[in-house]
Amino acid sequence: MSGIALSRLAQERKAWRKDHPFGFVAVPTKNPDGTMNLMNWECAIPGKKGTPWEGGLFKLRMLFKDDYPSSPPKCKSSERVHLEYLPGKAVCHVCGSWT
């Protein structure tokens, strides 16, 4: 693992723990030996008030590569939600391709 990536993620974790938006969650996972895995985070985003997602908590996993922060993390969600919601309008770029 890259020392640069781990150092940066440790700094970002420290800053997140001091101050982050209410209701949002971002926690590194644990390795089998119980140590923290800063390259793999479990996160959750609360649904915005006044939207169809209000009251929801949408989970995702962030996977960081060794070249972070030069490359962005990969985000995976088990939720089947498209966040570009426009009432009464189709989201054409995913129509017919969602599996």
Q: Is residue 47 part of a domain?
A: yes
1 vs 66: CA distance, rounded Å: 6
Range of the domain at 68: 3-94
Confirm whether 92 is a catalytic residue.
yes
pLDDT at position 74, please?
96
35 vs 66: CA distance, rounded Å: 18
81 vs 42: CA distance, rounded Å: 17
pLDDT at position 53, please?
87
Q: At CA 41, angle to CA 1 and CA 45, rounded to 5?
A: 155
pLDDT at position 38, please?
97
Count structural domains, the chain. 1
pLDDT at position 23, please?
95
In tens digits, the chain (99 residues) has pLDDT values of: 579 999 999 999 999 999 999 999 999 999 999 999 999 999 999 999 999 889 999 999 999 999 999 999 999 987 775 555 556 555 555 555 554
Active-site residue identified among 43, 75, 92, 95: 92
pLDDT at position 81, please?
59
Q: H or E stretch including 13? A: helix 3-18
Distances (CA, A) of 36 to 4, 16, 24, 71, 80: 16, 15, 20, 21, 28
Q: Is residue 99 part of a domain?
A: no
User: What is the CATH classification number for the domain harbouring 37?
Assistant: 3.10.110.10
